[in-house]
Amino acid sequence: MDVKVEIRSMEADDGLGWGSSLQVPSVQEMVRIDSQTVPERYIRESKDRPVIDGLCPISSEIPVIDFSLLANRDKEEQQKLHFASKEWGFFQIINHGVAEDLLHRMKAAAAAFFDLPLEEKMKYSMAEKDIQGYGQVFVVSENQKLDWNDLSFLMTYPPESRNLKYWPLTLLGFKETLEEYSTEISKFSEDILANLSLLMGMEENSLKDFHKVVRLGMRMNYYPPCSKPDLVLGLSPHSDGGTITVLLQDDDITGLQIKHQGEWIPVKPLHGAFVVNIGDAIEIWSNGTYKSVEHRAVTHATKARISVATFVTPHDEAEMGPVQPMLLNHPAMYRRIKCVDYARQYLNRELNGKHIDIVKLDDKS
């Protein structure tokens, strides 16, 4: 197969100043041209290959939290949030109050974008020095294994953070839907942060203060079907670098797997729920009490899967480092680092497990 479709424009733009990634082919286009061949660059070493088993029973153990109770600061529900963040780093949230119609429109907007012809999508390609737009991130060498995934990454909130040159404004309703969705996710995330602040022995607004305003980056993921799903990964193992991530996904395909007690556990979608996970920033602020857990995505033999991950991202100038109440009975487990420095280091490398070790302090120090 000889597919030379590079998804990157040559426009010079420093963008967010967080990093950049090398050019890669569109996997969706490769599969459209030849759905059977899996190029060598996508085939994982034996030890990294996934077990495709959407029916693993333990999946049902992932905590489910009722947001309507958390919003009322219900103590029992807060304890569930505490347990989930400590033991799993992941939970599904029901009764979040975001209208089902909006969730449906958000998924449809992402699907409509990936449905566009390649030439059209390429108009929104990442610029050379940015990670916003259509393309791929975390590609730093010509030799590394690639994910079976195409993505578009957009800053969506607050409104002034949007760079509309990466937004397909010709798609009817795309902009309005993302605006509406990101406004809802900003309110939802603020409330989760308020509950986590209280659980960490702080004022309700303390975690929010690290953001000034809650800042959202949205990664729309498209995982094409793969004829050999047991040889590839849709998304390499990683933990998310920000505060929390809110994931919206298709109901009918299990693609997300999380590392729990040394095993990869599939997260079976719960209709209408968000999957929320703790990012590295919360692990560091909580001095390791709450866990930013490794996760990955696997592919499906015949179906494409779309997910929409919204990353809550701290203010560039804020500091990551354990907060005072979490240091009362424990030594600091992480050194302090400015959020923008962490983001730059996080983004300019191959995605390969947890990155947090770069700020971990030796147990004895």
Ligand X SMILES: O=C(O)CCC(=O)C(=O)O
Binding site for ligand X (CB under 6 A): 219, 221, 235, 240, 247, 249, 255-256, 295, 297, 307, 309
Nearer to ligand X, 298 or 333 (CB): 298
CA distances from 346 to 185, 187, 238, 240 (A): 24, 26, 10, 9
Strand order in the sheet with 305-313: 64-66, 90-94, 274-278, 244-249, 305-313, 215-223, 150-157, 133-135
Report, in Å, the least distance between residue 1 CB and ligand X. Answer: 25
Nearer to ligand X, 62 or 309 (CB): 309
- The residue among 6, 4, 13, 5 whose CA lies nearest residue 128 is 13
Q: Do residues 92 and 270 touch, judged by C-beta distance below 8 A?
A: yes
Residue with tokens 């957009």: 154
Report, in Å, the least distance between residue 52 CB and Fe ion. Answer: 19
Nearer to Fe ion, 130 or 240 (CB): 240
Nearer to ligand X, 289 or 310 (CB): 310
Which among ligand X, Fe ion, none contacts residue 256 (Cβ within 5 to 8 A by kind)?
ligand X
Residue showing the smallest CB distance to Fe ion in the complex:
240
Which among ligand X, Fe ion, none contacts residue 249 (Cβ within 5 to 8 A by kind)?
ligand X
Which among ligand X, Fe ion, none contacts residue 219 (Cβ within 5 to 8 A by kind)?
ligand X
Which among Fe ion, ligand X, none contacts residue 297 (Cβ within 5 to 8 A by kind)?
ligand X
Which among Fe ion, ligand X, none contacts residue 59 (Cβ within 5 to 8 A by kind)?
none
Residues 6+ positions from 241 with CB-CB distance below 8 Å: 279, 280, 281, 311, 342, 343, 346, 347, 355
- Would you say the C-alpha torsion 164, 136, 192, 108 has a positive or negative sign? positive
Report, in Å, the least distance between residue 170 CB and ligand X. Answer: 25
d(CA 309, CA 291): 18
Which among ligand X, Fe ion, none contacts residue 307 (Cβ within 5 to 8 A by kind)?
ligand X
Nearer to Fe ion, 71 or 235 (CB): 235
Report, in Å, the least distance between residue 274 CB and ligand X. Answer: 12
Assess 280 for contact with Fe ion (CB under 5 A): no
Report, in Å, the least distance between residue 296 CB and ligand X. Answer: 8
Nearer to Fe ion, 202 or 309 (CB): 309
d(CA 188, CA 95): 11
Q: Do residues 171 and 135 touch, judged by C-beta distance below 8 A?
A: no
First to last CA, the chain: 54
Report, in Å, the least distance between residue 28 CB and ligand X. Answer: 15
Nearer to ligand X, 130 or 294 (CB): 294
**Chain-centre distance for alpha carbon 69:** 25
Report, in Å, the least distance between residue 247 CB and ligand X. Answer: 6
The pair of three-digit structure tokens given for residue 279, joined into one six-digit string: 């990012």
Q: Do residues 30 and 3 touch, judged by C-beta distance below 8 A?
A: yes
Binders of Fe ion among residues 210 to 249 (CB under 5 A) are 240
Q: Do residues 281 and 196 touch, judged by C-beta distance below 8 A?
A: no
Nearer to ligand X, 219 or 291 (CB): 219
| Residue ranges of E strands in the chain | 64-66, 90-94, 133-135, 150-157, 215-223, 235-238, 244-249, 256-260, 263-266, 274-278, 295-297, 305-313, 319-320, 337-338
Report, in Å, the least distance between residue 167 CB and ligand X. Answer: 19
Which among Fe ion, ligand X, none contacts residue 195 (Cβ within 5 to 8 A by kind)?
none
Positions that interact with Fe ion (CB under 5 A): 240
